[in-house]
Amino acid sequence: MRRLTARGRDEAHRVASTLELFFDLCFVVAVAQAGVSLVHAVAAGHTGEGILNYAMVFFAIWWAWMNFTWFASAYDNDDALYRIVTLVQVAGVLVLAGGVSRAFENHDWTTVLIGYVIMRLAMATQWLRAARSAEGAERTMALRYAVGVLVCQIGWVGLVVLPEAARPWLFLVMAIAEMCVPVYAERYNATAWHPHHIAERYGLFTIIVLGETIAAATVAVKPALGEALGDLLPIAAGGLLIVFSAWWIYFVVPIHGRLRAYKQAFLWGYGHYLIFASAAAIGAGLEVAIEHAVGQAHISALAAAAAVTLPTALYLLTVWVLHARHFKVGIAQQLVLPATALLVICCTFLGDWAVLTAGVVCALSVAIGVTLTARAGREARAAEAGALA
């Protein structure tokens, strides 16, 4: 047992702990359940309802994960109580995962709510521990976090007591309220999170979500390999190209340097809701495309293609907004990802070849980006050499 005090923001060799990696893996279980339920909803023709439920469930998963990540970056002391409370959060997300299918199919949010409340109560406990060890403005900040988290839990009860038609509006209000808690709590004092550690944590979760996308597509392809191989190969190849390109585009630039600007950090952290949700939705879309190819999805070819191309385009645009645009030089480099997103959307109308074409477009985007960056580097070195001469 140790005091839960803030760690140094410039601490050397700050990396993700084994507990954090375990935490991420358990959270991806809930991401997988949300993806599976989205597949069933879209394949059955309930696309709008499925996307709404997916957005709500994914917010609960992402928000709990994100709050812990930033807290741990600032306060992880790795003592016994810290570990136990963190494992309670893991138990909460597993409870939430167990209720995802009931929320999608029966509109019963009770189990999801219970899991979310478990996670958030554990988070409030961590903040109260931090407040007990802190003084002055830091203590006030920690108490604001704890109170804000606890108050928000009261509002979420409406998911199980309000009429079904009112729940999306309640979700919108409560999601905004949750996101306002950090802004309010850190108004005068910021947590001592570590930029390099935060960038690594978000990168690791992106990798895990992309891995889950490949795993989901593999599970979907396996049962139909013997009967529809010719129809599945273009989807499998296109899906791999999309996921490989998604990994390349996210990690091509180092982002931790920009996170040192505090206002940028809020936008960057919150914006990853779209990155994580769209990355996981790509996997769900590939499953839908596979089910359509083997005649198991009761939707049109256009809808099946859109299930892959639209989340892919959203992923590309969000990564460009949060990452890539800060490192691109010149109009040509800046336009690569937005143009790619537009072309991927256009691929939706290519029927059975939509996924493969979208994958090729993404791969060409990576190749063009690498070429333009290399050319800019050569020109910069040539200009520097000329100046020295």
Residues in the chain: 389
Residue 249: name the closest of 314, 194, 164 by CA.
314
Residue 155 main-chain phi, psi, to 5 deg? -65, -35
pLDDT score of 226 = 60
Residue 129: name the closest of 187, 167, 76 by CA.
76
Token pair in block for residue 89: 């959060």
Token pair in block for residue 44: 């059955």
Token pair in block for residue 354: 């939509």
Give the mean pLDDT per block of 10 residues along the chain (389 residues): 81 88 91 90 88 92 93 91 94 92 88 93 94 90 94 90 89 94 88 88 92 81 65 86 93 75 76 94 91 84 93 94 78 88 95 92 92 75 66
305, 289 in Cβ contact below 8 A?
yes
Token pair in block for residue 270: 């919150």
Question: Which residues, at least 6 apart from 324, have a Cβ–Cβ distance to it below 8 Å?
Answer: 249, 252, 253, 337
pLDDT score of 189 = 82
Count of beta carbons in the 10 Å neighbourhood of residue 223: 11
Q: What is the DSSP code (8-state) at residue 291?
A: H
pLDDT score of 158 = 87
Count of beta carbons in the 10 Å neighbourhood of residue 353: 14
Asked whether the CA dihedral 193, 196, 199, 203 is positive or negative, the reply is: negative
Gap between the Cα atoms of 292 and 286, Å rounded: 10
Gap between the Cα atoms of 354 and 234, Å rounded: 9
264, 258 in Cβ contact below 8 A?
yes
pTM of the model: 0.90
Cα dihedral angle (306, 307, 308, 312), rounded to 10 degrees? 90
